[in-house]
Structure 1
Amino acid sequence: MPARASLSAFLATARSALAASASKKQTLTFVVGNESADLDSLCSALLFAYLRTYGSPQTLHIPLCHLPRDDLTLRPEFTEVLRRAATSPDDVITLDDLPELDATNTQWLLVDHNCLTGHLELFNKQVVGCVDHHTDEGKVPQESEVRLIEKSGSCMSLVVTHCREAWEKLKDADKATEIDAQLAHLAVGPILIDTQKLGDKNKTTSFDEDAVQYLETKLPSATGYDRTNFFSDVAKLKGDISPLSMRDILRKDYKEWDDSGVKLGTSSVPAHFGYLTEKAGSSDALLDGIKRWGTEKDLDLVTVLTAFTNEASFHRELLLFARTEKGVATAKAFEKDYTEKLQLSPWSSGKLDLDEQSQWLRCWTQGRVENSRKQVAPMLREAMKAKI
């Protein structure tokens, strides 16, 4: 590879190579985050692809944003982090930019997940490695060159840990210091967001603390970086869902699984159900929006997980809406097995609850706030297996 370029120039090279591949039978190596396409997934894919391209093994790695291009508008926090990395959403590569691919001519490295889902599931056999902080699903071969699955607040912290030595060897660019500062902005943003500025004791690990300490050595005061201000700016953008419709709120941070004959969809929302009820106009209107989303995605079980700070305390809520008999069986199995473990109690005296043969809904306040979707989704998937 030539001397390394800025992130935006690297993305232009990757886009050109992807376009040229349509007429060539060459193997393409992709790096992709999970289908929720949150800030951590998006930024981790970009940084890992960049450092793998210019470090060892010096093979072009194409970073893919796991979402349609239109969905980028739902993520202003990503736009802000890209801006600080001297890049824009126009530069990144999305699902809409993929040409028709022969799966056998591709390789896939996963960040922030270890099993391809959604539109990319057909490439699962071409997965050659991962860096992730979720439950190991046993899909990535043990002998893979890269297979790092560890507990951390942010997947980006693991990417930085894995690539740190290679990064330090990249001293060949005329503007190495400037480029490093751009990359460090890209990396530190999701770590600060996912760990609440390293203040969330339930999430923050030594991986996160060490990564931020390292990255901030690449962010001298001359860059205008300030940890508190950076976190506040990005967090404000991430948490502001006021311009969004109910459908957009539910699809902004969405992940889906189809296991054991049950299709599960999960939406993470940075606001409480009281706010969502008020935004929708009424409880009935909120439920109608959730039901429409379940119908659009053809789900057996719709899950909405809220996370928010109220009066300086962090809170979580959880809603399950089962819209088929299979979904109802799964939801009831989850309720039986995990109510105590998650310290679930009825939200607003059961105001949103519903109990019918083919439709069932429960909304809870979640006492064990340390359990995010990263922990709750595997519980739901276990309930999917146990539904019979």
Structure 2
Amino acid sequence: MPPPRSLSAFLELARKSLKAPVGQRPSPLTFVIGNESADLDSLCSAILFAYFRSHTAPNYTLHIPLANIPREDIPLRPELGAALAYAGVKSQQLLTLSDLDDVTKTEGLEPQDTRWVLVDHNALTGSIAESYTSRIVGCVDHHEDENVIAVNTGDEPRILKKTGSCVSLVVEYCRDAWESLSKQALEKADSPEQTEVDAGLARIALSAIYLDTNNLKSKAKTTELDIQIAEYLESKLGKEYTRKKYYKELSQLKEDISQFSYCDNFRKDYKAWTEAGMVLGTASIPQGFHYMLNHLGDKETLIDEFRKFAQERQCDIGCIMTSSAKDDGVFKRNLLIWAFNPKAVEAVEKFVELHSETLGLAPFQDGALDYKGDGEVRYCWYQNVTRNSRKQLAPLLRATMKEAAKL
């Protein structure tokens, strides 16, 4: 039978199913998880895909959404809490890696007892990659294909398509299930409840689409599908709803990073890859270095905190990628790259040689954060070609890491 209609009740069912004793829980458990940065797009994609796949006839297979972060990192995402509130859900109701760890230790959940669908990425990274990569059964993603997932994924999708937001792909895939669910509810004469549920789900979806496409205004990111899906979702909201007002609410929450420390900001949107035996760690921050130095701490604090952060994660190369629309009302980016050993230095210098011109890199404050010595190198730039975000920069860095390994 289908799960409950409300998102809050659905998440409670997912929690009970995960935490149930071995003989009483579904087997295998199907998890839906976004990438390890756990940004709004990843989190909302996981929630929405899991919800609609669980309500898909005829099997109604429970899909459990899992936030790819420990529970203590949930409060670092106030924009998530705001979006979920419209659906009557608190962010602490989400299941996280902490819950997975607890069940693994107490109930003996083994990898073979699980299935995994990836959203907003197509290759597991981080702490869960080794245990669960062989259990991946599908993906919905808008990044480059890592060629990890089998071509034939059976009942689960294998969707890889360029869009501004992964949520757009999730809603497109689940649209028929959503419409069927809405129709069934209307036939049962609970249309007020149906309208409320649909509006909350639409708000969650729109939150990710708006923030990932700069309110559908980014020419570099926004695709026709993003626009079409946004209009479809907005049709589920009342006449009083305005795109501009909702986007402003979310962006203000996301951009107010002054309430968090440097370390909190580094781990809020962090992704790592291992390439040619080296670890590349990247922190994405929605404010530039001018803002951080004025609101979070001075130059020495920034450098000390990032060195400590990168070393704890065993990074060979650590990056901070920033964005901001606050400087003179113009969207800008900064980029800091730090190589911590000689082999990593070779990779970074190769990156500079190949891409500094095409990215429009210029020294930040005349090299105020740059450093060379002791087998390390650190550069900080203004990135004048702003269309390149982490989605483009990380593959470029990974390619130069491969090249350096050959030398």
Task: Quickly name the TM-score band, shorter chain normalised.
Answer: over 0.9
Q: Provide, for residues 130-164 of structure 1, a one-character-per-residue CA deviation record: whole Å limited to 9, x for no partner.
A: 11111110111111241111111110011011111
> Partner of 1:119: helix, strand, or coil?
helix
Query: In the TM superposition, what is the alpha-carbon distance from 1:21 to its structure 2 partner?
Result: 4.9
CA contact 2:66–2:95 (8 Å) conserved in 1 = yes
Equivalent residue letter for 2:295: K
Equivalent residue letter for 1:9: A
Are positions 1:135 and 2:168 aligned together?
no
1:68 maps to which residue? 70
Query: In the TM superposition, what is the alpha-carbon distance from 1:119 to its structure 2 partner?
Result: 1.8
> Partner of 2:356: helix, strand, or coil?
helix
Q: Which sections of structure 1, spanning at least 5 residues, go unmatched?
A: none
2:332 maps to which residue? 315
Counterpart Cα distance in 2 of 1:307 and 1:352: 17
Query: In the TM superposition, what is the alpha-carbon distance from 1:2 to its structure 2 partner?
Result: 3.1
TM-score by length of 2: 0.92
Query: In the TM superposition, what is the alpha-carbon distance from 1:226 to its structure 2 partner?
Result: 2.0
CA contact 1:323–1:359 (8 Å) conserved in 2 = yes
1:119 maps to which residue? 127
CA contact 2:3–2:10 (8 Å) conserved in 1 = no
Question: What is the count of residue pairs matched by the alignment?
Answer: 386
Counterpart Cα distance in 2 of 1:319 and 1:45: 30
Query: In the TM superposition, what is the alpha-carbon distance from 1:357 to its structure 2 partner?
Result: 4.3
Structure 1 segments, 4+ long, off by >6 Å, are none
2:379 maps to which residue? 362
**CA-based RMSD:** 1.4
TM-score by length of 1: 0.96
**Larger deviation, residues 232-241 vs 357-366:** 357-366
Are positions 1:287 and 2:303 aligned together?
yes
Q: Superposition pairs for residues 148-159 of structure 1, below 5 Å? A: 148-159=159-170
Q: Provide, for residues 55-75 of structure 1, a one-character-per-residue CA deviation record: whole Å limited to 9, x for no partner.
A: 144200000011111101100
Equivalent residue letter for 1:229: K
1:53 maps to which residue? 54
CA contact 1:254–1:268 (8 Å) conserved in 2 = yes
| Matched-pair identity in % | 44
> Partner of 2:35: helix, strand, or coil?
coil
2:393 maps to which residue? 376
Q: Superposition pairs for residues 331-342 of structure 1, below 5 Å? A: 331-342=348-359
Counterpart Cα distance in 2 of 1:124 and 1:359: 33
Query: In the TM superposition, what is the alpha-carbon distance from 1:280 to its structure 2 partner?
Result: 4.7
> Partner of 2:227: helix, strand, or coil?
helix
1:172 maps to which residue? 184
CA contact 1:266–1:305 (8 Å) conserved in 2 = yes
> Partner of 2:331: helix, strand, or coil?
strand
1:9 maps to which residue? 9
Counterpart Cα distance in 2 of 1:10 and 1:257: 33
Q: Provide, for residues 156-198 of structure 1, a one-character-per-residue CA deviation record: whole Å limited to 9, x for no partner.
A: 0110111111211113333222211111111111101111111
CA contact 2:2–2:60 (8 Å) conserved in 1 = no
Counterpart Cα distance in 1 of 2:91 and 2:220: 32
Equivalent residue letter for 2:89: T
Query: In the TM superposition, what is the alpha-carbon distance from 1:341 to its structure 2 partner?
Result: 2.1
> Partner of 1:108: helix, strand, or coil?
strand
1:84 maps to which residue? 86
Counterpart Cα distance in 1 of 2:343 and 2:277: 8
Equivalent residue letter for 2:128: L
Counterpart Cα distance in 2 of 1:10 and 1:280: 39
2:204 maps to which residue? 186
